[in-house]
Amino acid sequence: MGEIERKKMINQQVDIAVIGGGPAGLIAAVNAKKHGAKNVVIIDRNSWLGGILPQCIHDGFGVEELGESMTGPEYAEKYIEKVKQQNVNIMIETMVLQLNNKREIIAVNKKGIYKIKSKAIILAMGCREKTRWHAMIPGDRPSGIFTAGVAQAFINLYNIMPGKNVVILGSGDVGLIMARRLKFEGANVLGVVEILPYASGLPRNVVQCLDDYEIPIWFNHTITSIKGKERLEKVTITQVDKNMVPINGTERELKCDTLLLSLGLIPENELSKNANIEIDENTGGPIVNQNLETSLDGVYACGNCLQVYDTVDMLSIVSKIAGKNAAKHKKIKKQKNSINFVCGKGVRYVVPQKIDDAGMVNLNLRALKPSEKSILFIKKNGDELLRKKLPWVNPANMITVDMLT
Amino acid sequence: MKNFHVAIIGGGVIGSSIAWELSKYKANIIVFEKGSDVASETSKANSGVIHSGINSPNGSLKARFCVEGNKTFQSISNNLGFPVKWVGKYVIAKNQDEVKELHRLKKVGKKNEVTGLVIIDGDVVNKREPNLTCFQALWVPTAGITLPYEMTIAFAENAAINDINFSLETKVLNLKKKNDTFQIKTNKGSYQSNVLINAAGINCRNIVSMLEEPDFNVYPCRGEYLVLDKKYYNLVNAMIYPIPPKKLGVLGVHITPTIEGNILLGPSAEFIDDSSDKKTTKNMMHKILKEAKEIIPNLTGKDIINAYSGIRCKLVPPEAGGLSDYKIEESKQTPGLINLAGIESPGLTAAPAIAKYVTKMIFKHSEFKKKKNFKTKKFRIKRFSEMPRIKQSKMIKKDNNFGRIICRCEHITEAEVIKALSNPLGAKTISSVKYRCRAGMGRCQGGFCTQHIIRIMKEQFNIDIKDMKLKSPGSNLFYGRNREEEND
């Protein structure tokens, strides 16, 4: 870097830089402090901390982790307070533009361009929503099509009503929660369209957000066309066969002015990819070891950029590991012989993807499809390391097991 | 009633380039555009290709204006500040049979004085384009790419700063000619003009029929596109075209790199009845992918971030097939009415030359004097994301809104959004922002930036929530507030 450039940029040196101030970033930062890291900074592009939580005004947060039920903003507030108590530095309205393989971050805010050198980095960028084009829904391109999370932000953060007659495509948790939320605001929620024979969101959300309000869910259905030259006017919903192919003759038009898309979430890893961090195609997040360290030395990942969690509680528990290990980064001895997990029958993914140290490991897995009475086993060179009976499995519910290696 | 020397109907690339050409002269001119912004129809939804002139027969208006436009393109682009890249194109022959077509195209091109045409062997092509295998290819070095919407906006905004009036969301409802003036009735009031330019694109026939019985028909032909994520930016270096399918009078599904680093697949070709039906269809999506895979077999169809369509204005019916020429002429029945009909591909390339030609036609009625204070303003110099870090720091010091990124995918700043919304045309939709500074065009398709653009619209431009639009009159985004604002 030339002399002039150095003068123009704001240089900083920290122990740990946390990219993203959502729940994962907050918790990782607090835990890094607790484990001895001195200079910790959280960088977030929004003008608030807590990520998506401030717009999640429904309750149910904290039940698994803290034993009490809170709303999203309340849950976020707990950790924001802890972050402040621990004197974590906070940079909001700051966007990380680049991360390189020497643990240097280029970030920007209204004060200028920053170059932040860090002993360890925690990736906590969260995730984004899939768009209409992930499902390749043909038709017109009118206004009135929102992803569920964006619609949630409009209603809960900006006091804006996105629509009156609403159809929801996809039964992810955000979609289910938004069905109820829109009903509360006086909208007519026509129903939820789900291509699978089961809901992708949590079963409790199906009951509490749809059943309790008599909102129908149409399984094995999808939207095959969108109509409306200016504002959305109608959608065509069509039944699908076992292979998810629309069945001719089952089309039916629904008049609506708004379509919410709840098609799933994609971990945000543009920064990781540009830093050449190895990505697991099945999770969409970085490949990590039991310490949640990525393929790049000293760079850890947690939260929804690592894998999309069912609940914030589970995400919080795992994010603590990233904070702790990032704080101890220099002290951890690197083992050369790592074990890589290979997903067997019925398993979509497993996190961590590899183990390079003996000890107790918490594994997160996701099943490929729902089924009853399953057996989970882990084998190494023919030896069974773990065998566990599961009464039922559902891709919506993450499976967690502890394993001693 | 307001009087104008010239009224232009249509703010597409043709109407806007004519407006810019005329803005060099002392004359009172107005452009009517029914959309909420210029380039709101076919001018934004095409391949963005600057053609060389190998596809139209010698002597045709298409060939003439295409070649002329191609030659002036670089200097206009430099002047007005919209991007152009001379990536060149390959027309590929998959077997010996198709090679004949390459020779035919080369011959047409030579007649049209297109330079640098050469037929090369497949293995040479493969070295330059590792993802492409073909038998032989015609290399067309003078073909390039631009951003069609930026080009149109650059013309229109430059015309506007030189005092051309743009009346957006203005639909022409009725036309009459009384004595020597046109009486123009619109949804925004009545106007008069001496000369009337019909640059209404796909609606050109409707405009004519308000004054006289049209002597031509329009056959709308929809072309759909798929946009691939930027991660495929190195899929191809140049544009890759198949041998044109003769019957439909189009160039076929081709693979086009874009200025921004995405890849375009398309367009399909489908004759339709309703010229406003710009939908995309499952059938055509499959067809485009299938035909694109015939060119590049390892294309997966994954990571499609958008799909759209544009409508070609064809003057020959599908059963007749083949290419038709542009119809650019003054009406014999209604002097002063200048019609531009059937301006399909290569209309974008031809636009600057067409504008000059039409200006000469107007001068037959009344010659205008050149302005002394004609201004030129570059539409785009460089985006914040394209600047070196040191320059970025300087920009933030000048205006700290450059330090606030509001589009996470494309790294577009608040300052750039404010500039886009301050455009001289007064266009203020989400699309107006998107096509001016690219916020919302990335892989998340507005998931992050929409709420910021709305905040800026409210805070900086005082636009009411209920009046915010996606792209066109009637495409309102919201139904108002959930509850009364405390400060309202």
Give the Cβ contact number of residue A228 at 10 Å: 22
Helical segments of A130-199, H only: 148-156, 173-184
Residues of B in contact with A139 (CB under 8 A): 279-281
| Helix, strand, coil % over all residues of chain A, rounded to 5 | 25, 35, 40
Cβ-defined contact of B478 to A4 (cutoff 8 Å): no
H or E element in which residue B67 lies = helix B61-80
Cβ-defined contact of B465 to A160 (cutoff 8 Å): yes
Is the separation of the CB atoms in B433 and B440 below 8 Å? yes
Cβ-defined contact of A45 to B408 (cutoff 8 Å): yes
Q: How far apart are the first and last CA of chain A?
A: 45
Q: Distance from B473 to chain A by nearest Cα, in Å?
A: 7
B residues 229-258 lying closer than 8 A (beta carbon) to A: none
Is the separation of the CB atoms in A177 and A167 below 8 Å? no
What whole-number distance in Å separates Cα of residue B99 and Cα of residue B487? 71
Q: Does B393 touch chain A (CB under 8 A)?
A: yes
Q: Distance from B173 to chain A by nearest Cα, in Å?
A: 20
Give the Cβ contact number of residue B147 at 10 Å: 23
Residues of B in contact with A226 (CB under 8 A): 279
Assess whether the region A3-128+266-332 and the region A131-263 belong to the same CATH fold: yes
Of the partner residues B390, B396, B481, the one whose CB lies closest to the CB of residue A160: B481
Cβ-defined contact of B403 to A5 (cutoff 8 Å): no
Domain ranges of chain A: 3-128+266-332, 131-263, 337-405
Of the partner residues A131, A136, A161, the one whose CB lies closest to the CB of residue B482: A161
Residue B441 in tokens: 């065009």
Of the partner residues B280, B397, B454, the one whose CB lies closest to the CB of residue A138: B280
Residues of B in contact with A154 (CB under 8 A): 451, 478
pLDDT in tens, B385-436: 999 999 999 999 999 999 999 999 999 999 999 999 999 999 999 999 999 9
Angle of helix B61-80 relative to helix B148-161, nearest 10 degrees?
70
What whole-number distance in Å separates Cα of residue B170 and Cα of residue B176? 17
Cβ-defined contact of B389 to A9 (cutoff 8 Å): yes
For B283, nearest residue in chain A (alpha carbons): A138
Q: Does B389 touch chain A (CB under 8 A)?
A: yes
pLDDT in tens, A10-32: 999 999 999 999 999 999 999 99
What whole-number distance in Å separates Cα of residue B168 and Cα of residue A247? 44
Q: Distance from A10 to chain B by nearest Cα, in Å?
A: 9
Q: Any residues with CB less than 8 A from the CB of B37 and at least 6 apart, and which?
A: B11, B153, B168, B425, B427, B429, B431, B432, B435, B471
Q: Distance from A322 to chain B by nearest Cα, in Å?
A: 25
pLDDT in tens, B127-157: 999 999 999 999 999 999 999 999 999 999 9
Catalytic residues of B: 51
Work out the pLDDT band at A354, boundaries 50, 70, 90. Answer: very high
> Which residues are bridge partners to A225 per DSSP?
A236
- Alpha-carbon distances of B250 from B267, B345, B452, rounded to whole Å: 9, 8, 41
Residues of A in contact with B471 (CB under 8 A): 143
Residue B120 in tokens: 């090369």
Is the separation of the CB atoms in B67 and B53 below 8 Å? yes
Work out the pLDDT band at B483, boundaries 50, 70, 90. Answer: confident
**CA A155 distance to own-chain centroid:** 21
What whole-number distance in Å separates Cα of residue B69 and Cα of residue A84? 62
H or E element in which residue B390 lies = helix B389-398
Q: Please state whether the peptide bond connecting residue B346 to the residue before it is cis, i.e. omega within 30 degrees of 0.
A: yes
Cβ-defined contact of B477 to A158 (cutoff 8 Å): no
pLDDT in tens, B222-271: 999 999 999 999 999 999 999 998 777 789 999 999 999 999 999 999 99
What b/e string do you get for A128-139 counting C-beta neighbours within 10 Å, with b at 16 or more?
bbbbbbbeebbb
Q: Distance from A330 to chain B by nearest Cα, in Å?
A: 31
Q: Distance from A183 to chain B by nearest Cα, in Å?
A: 12
Residues of B in contact with A133 (CB under 8 A): 304-307, 445
Amino acid at B480: G
Cβ-defined contact of B393 to A113 (cutoff 8 Å): yes
What b/e string do you get for B218-234 counting C-beta neighbours within 10 Å, with b at 16 or more?
bbbbbbbbbbbbbebee
Amino acid at B176: K
Work out the pLDDT band at B380, boundaries 50, 70, 90. Answer: confident
Cβ-defined contact of B405 to A45 (cutoff 8 Å): yes
Q: How far apart are the first and last CA of chain B?
A: 38
pLDDT in tens, A138-184: 999 999 999 999 999 999 999 999 999 999 999 999 999 999 999 99
For A113, nearest residue in chain B (alpha carbons): B393
- Alpha-carbon distances of A383 from A201, A379, A386, A400, B254, rounded to whole Å: 35, 5, 9, 21, 54
Strands A89-91 and A70-71: unpaired
Domain ranges of chain B: 384-467
Q: Does B281 touch chain A (CB under 8 A)?
A: yes
Q: Does B278 touch chain A (CB under 8 A)?
A: yes
Helical segments of A250-327, H only: 270-274, 312-327
Say if residue A2's pLDDT is above 60. Answer: no
Q: Any residues with CB less than 8 A from the CB of A145 and at least 6 apart, and which?
A: A132, A226, A232, A258, A259, A261
Mean pLDDT of chain B: 95
Cβ-defined contact of A110 to B400 (cutoff 8 Å): yes
Cβ-defined contact of B282 to A138 (cutoff 8 Å): yes
State the CATH class of domain A131-263: alpha beta
Of the partner residues B282, B305, B403, the one whose CB lies closest to the CB of residue A133: B305
Q: Does B405 touch chain A (CB under 8 A)?
A: yes
pLDDT in tens, A361-399: 999 999 999 999 999 999 988 899 899 999 999 998 999
Question: Which residue, among B274, B279, B464, would best test binding to A if mutated, counting the most A CBs under 10 Å from its CB?
Answer: B279
Q: What is the pLDDT of residue B188?
A: 97
Cβ-defined contact of A136 to B282 (cutoff 8 Å): yes
Work out the pLDDT band at A7, boundaries 50, 70, 90. Answer: low
Work out the pLDDT band at A4, boundaries 50, 70, 90. Answer: low
pLDDT in tens, B92-129: 999 999 999 999 999 999 999 999 999 999 999 999 99
Cβ-defined contact of A159 to B397 (cutoff 8 Å): no
Residues of B in contact with A225 (CB under 8 A): 279
Q: What is the pLDDT of residue B486?
A: 64
Residue B246 in tokens: 């003769």
For B410, nearest residue in chain A (alpha carbons): A97
Q: What is the pLDDT of residue A6?
A: 53
Q: Does B400 touch chain A (CB under 8 A)?
A: yes
Q: Distance from B254 to chain A by nearest Cα, in Å?
A: 20
Give the Cβ contact number of residue A391 at 10 Å: 7
Is the separation of the CB atoms in B267 and B225 below 8 Å? yes
For B399, nearest residue in chain A (alpha carbons): A110
Q: Any residues with CB less than 8 A from the CB of B484 and at least 6 apart, and which?
A: none
Q: Distance from B138 to chain A by nearest Cα, in Å?
A: 34
Nearest to B253 by CA among B292, B301, B196: B292
Nearest to A320 by CA among A52, A24, A107: A24
**A-B Cβ pairs (cutoff 8 Å, strict):** 135
For A266, nearest residue in chain B (alpha carbons): B444
B residues 188-227 lying closer than 8 A (beta carbon) to A: none
Work out the pLDDT band at A1, boundaries 50, 70, 90. Answer: very low
Mean pLDDT of A111-117: 97
For A147, nearest residue in chain B (alpha carbons): B447
For A135, nearest residue in chain B (alpha carbons): B304
Residues of B in contact with A97 (CB under 8 A): 405, 411
Say if residue A330's pLDDT is above 80. Answer: no
Q: What angle do CA B202, B206, B212 make, to 5 degrees?
A: 135
Query: CATH code for A3-128+266-332?
Result: 3.50.50.60
What whole-number distance in Å separates Cα of residue B82 and Cα of residue B77? 5
Q: Does B483 touch chain A (CB under 8 A)?
A: yes
Say if residue A310's pLDDT is above 80. Answer: yes
Nearest to B343 by CA among B332, B357, B333: B357
